[in-house]
């Protein structure tokens, strides 16, 4: 089983990154191989809304190619974002927008239209959402729920925290980091099952 962490915070080794890493450590302890990608390190162009959805992929060739490979190859993905203005960070949003090309319209006999993912492999995902003074880190979940079918991913769990709730920076909470480790172990076991 291979699990990839995708970190959408620009701040390495801070809250989002630390919690994603603890989840990955737990996955590793359950026998998974792991990798981690910092979206902020990639050269990512914003979606230009060309709306090509014929399975040929995005018209741009840039850092997103690495992410498209993850969508095809990983068994599990840990998606970590800080909360910025009650939604995901711009790095995460950019990755999501660039997934639009992976949806394929299918016309039903009734004339209606549904969308399927052109990504072959079905995957599971965990969302890590880290806020500061706000108290609603779950605000990102509807965004992930809307996006995840495009890449053939089912969100099965989440770690949702804010400084407002914990009273200290999430990365300073040993209890939270232990919980993230356990969730990682459980996640990898669920992938193997
Ligand atoms: C541009 C910006 C917008 C933010 N908006 C929110 C917000 O709406 N709600 C919230 O709880 N925290 C907000 N924060 C605080 C971050 O979510 C918080 O500091 C988080 O821990 C950052 O994660 P990091 O340590 O991985 O960088 C914002 C921070 C920035 C830089």
Partners of 127 in the β-ladder: 79, 158
Assessment of whether the complete model's pTM goes beyond 0.85: yes
Domain hosting residue 179, numbered range: 2-192
Task: Quote the number of domains for the chain.
Answer: 1
Residue nearest to atom 22 of ligand 1 (CA): 82
Query: Per residue in 128-148, is it b (16+ CB within 10 Å) or e — as a string?
Result: bbbbeeeeebebbeebbeebb
Round to whole Å and give the CA distance between 60 and 64.
8
**Residue 193 confidence (pLDDT):** 87
Instruction: Please give the full DSSP string across 36-104, using - where no structure is assigned.
Output: EEEGGGS--PPP------SSS--S--STHHHHHHHHHH-SEEEEEEE-BTTB--HHHHHHHHTTGGGEE
**Residue 190 confidence (pLDDT):** 97
Instruction: Please give the full DSSP string across 85-154, using - where no structure is assigned.
Output: TTB--HHHHHHHHTTGGGEEEEE-TTS-EEEEE---S-EEEEEEEEESS-S-GGGGHHHHHHHGGGGTEE
**Residue 154 confidence (pLDDT):** 98
**Residue 162 confidence (pLDDT):** 97
Domain of 52: which CATH number?
Answer: 3.40.50.360
Residue nearest to atom 25 of ligand 1 (CA): 15
Pick the atom of ligand 1 nearest to 135's CA: 11
What 3-state DSSP class applies to 8? coil
Question: From the CA of 60, how far away is ligand 1's center (Å)?
Answer: 30
Question: From the CA of 129, how far away is ligand 1's center (Å)?
Answer: 10
Pick the atom of ligand 1 nearest to 16's CA: 26
List, for the chain, all residue ranges whose pLDDT scores fall below the cut of 50. none
**Residue 55 confidence (pLDDT):** 87
């Amino acid at each position: 089983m291979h699990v990839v962490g995708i970190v959408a915070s620009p701040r390495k080794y801070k809250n989002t990154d630390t919690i994603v890493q603890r989840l990955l450590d737990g996955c590793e302890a359950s026998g998974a191989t792991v990798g981690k990608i910092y979206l902020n390190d990639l050269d990512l162009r914003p979606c230009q809304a060309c709306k090509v959805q014929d399975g040929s992929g995005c018209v741009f060739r840039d850092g997103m190619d690495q992410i498209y490979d993850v969508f095809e190859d990983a068994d599990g993905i840990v998606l970590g974002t800080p909360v910025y203005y009650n939604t995901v960070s711009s790095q995460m949003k950019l990755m999501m927008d660039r997934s639009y090309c992976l949806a394929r319209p299918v016309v039903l006999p009734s004339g209606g239209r549904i969308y399927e993912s052109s990504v072959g492999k079905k995957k599971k995902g965990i969302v890590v959402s880290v806020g500061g003074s706000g108290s609603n880190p779950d605000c990102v979940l509807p965004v992930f729920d809307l996006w995840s079918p495009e890449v053939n991913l089912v969100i099965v769990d989440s770690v949702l925290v804010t400084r407002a709730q914990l009273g200290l920076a999430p990365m300073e909470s040993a209890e939270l980091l232990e919980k993230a480790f356990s969730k990682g172990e459980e996640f990898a076991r669920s992938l193997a099952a």
